[in-house]
Amino acid sequence: MNSKKPEKRFSVRLTDKTLIEFVDKQGNLNNTIIYLIEQEIAKNGIRDLQKIIPAKRTNDYFNKGGSNNEWRTITKRFTWKSR
């Protein structure tokens, strides 16, 4: 019986200096990527991000909320003050 866990490997080409700096700062890049994916799934479920994110993202895109606008709208509806 084969008891190996399913595995998916991939490679990424980075040309943006900031992304390269981020990757270089990680002690365990694999764990970092898994964490970021888990965070996205926890907030938004499993979905194809290519359907909602622009091909080119700028600092202005993220400063205006970018893809977080959807999440902020949802959390504002369910925000309450603790006693």
20's CB contacts (< 8 A; 6+ apart) are 14
Question: DSSP alpha helices (H): ranges in 16-67?
Answer: 17-25, 29-44, 59-63
- More confident position, 55 or 82: 55
Tokens of 60: 């202005």
Per-residue confidence at 80, pLDDT binned at 50, 70, 90? very low
Per-residue confidence at 57, pLDDT binned at 50, 70, 90? confident
Whether 73 has a pLDDT exceeding 90, the answer reads: no
Q: What is the pLDDT of residue 69?
A: 52
Per-residue confidence at 77, pLDDT binned at 50, 70, 90? very low
